[in-house]
Structure 1
Amino acid sequence: MNGFERRKQKKTEQIYSVSFQLFSQHGFQKVSVNEIAHKAKVSPATIYNYFGTKEQLYSDMLMNWMDKQLEQYGNILDSGLSFPEKTKEIMLSEAKNLKILSDEFQKDPSSEVSGLMQMMERYNEQKVLPFFMKFVATGKQEGYIHKDQTEELTMMYFTMFKNEMGRYLESSNQEHATRSIDQWVELFFYGLRRN
Structure 2
Amino acid sequence: MNGFERRALQIKEKIIETTLEMLKTWDSNKIRIADIAKQANVSQVTIYNYFGSKEALLREVVKNYMTHSFKEFMENMNGEYTFKEKIERIILQEKEYSINSLTPFLFNQLLTEDQEIAQFVEKEYSEKVLPAFFQLIEEGRESGEISSKISTQGLMMYINFSMKYSNEFLDSIRQNGNMDLINEMVHIFFYGICGKP
Using structure 1 for the length normalisation, give the TM-score: 0.72
Computed over aligned residues only, the root mean square deviation of the Cα atoms, in angstroms, reads 3.6
AA at the equivalent of 1:57: L
AA at the equivalent of 2:172: S
Pick closer, same or farther for the CA change 1:169–1:34 going to 2, 3 Å: closer
AA at the equivalent of 1:187: Y
Preserved contact between residue 88 and residue 185 of structure 1 (Cα < 8 Å)? no
Task: Choose the corresponding residue for 2:191, options 167, 187, 192.
Answer: 187
Structure 1 residue 116, shift from structure 2 partner: 3.8
- Structure 2 distance, partners of 1:39, 1:175, is 31
- Residue matched to 1:91: 91
Over residues 98-123 of structure 1, what are the superposed CA-to-partner deviations in whole Å (9 max), with x where a residue is unaligned? 45543672882456546443443334
Pick closer, same or farther for the CA change 1:106–1:143 going to 2, 3 Å: closer
Preserved contact between residue 111 and residue 118 of structure 2 (Cα < 8 Å)? yes
Pick closer, same or farther for the CA change 1:105–1:177 going to 2, 3 Å: same
Between the two proteins, the alignment pairs up a number of residues equal to 191
Preserved contact between residue 15 and residue 40 of structure 1 (Cα < 8 Å)? yes
- Structure 2 distance, partners of 1:2, 1:112, is 37
- Which runs of no fewer than 5 residues in structure 1 stay unpaired? none
- Structure 2 distance, partners of 1:13, 1:141, is 43
- Residue matched to 2:129: 128
- Residue matched to 1:39: 39
Pick closer, same or farther for the CA change 1:107–1:79 going to 2, 3 Å: closer
* 1:59 and 2:63 aligned: no
Preserved contact between residue 27 and residue 107 of structure 1 (Cα < 8 Å)? no
Pick closer, same or farther for the CA change 1:56–1:163 going to 2, 3 Å: same
Pick closer, same or farther for the CA change 1:3–1:141 going to 2, 3 Å: farther
- Which runs of no fewer than 5 residues in structure 2 stay unpaired? none
Using structure 2 for the length normalisation, give the TM-score: 0.71
AA at the equivalent of 2:70: L
- Structure 1 distance, partners of 2:55, 2:168, is 31
Deviates more, 1:179-188 or 1:75-84: 179-188
Structure 1 residue 14, shift from structure 2 partner: 0.9
Over residues 20-43 of structure 1, what are the superposed CA-to-partner deviations in whole Å (9 max), with x where a residue is unaligned? 122332222221222212322333
Pick closer, same or farther for the CA change 1:165–1:112 going to 2, 3 Å: closer
Pairing 1:38-187 to 2, within 5 Å after superposition: 38-98=38-98, 100-102=101-103, 105=106, 108-109=109-110, 113=114, 115-136=116-137, 138-140=139-141, 142-145=143-146, 150=152, 154-164=155-165, 167-171=168-172, 174=178, 176-187=180-191
- Structure 2 distance, partners of 1:24, 1:179, is 25
Structure 1 residue 140, shift from structure 2 partner: 5.0
AA at the equivalent of 1:36: I
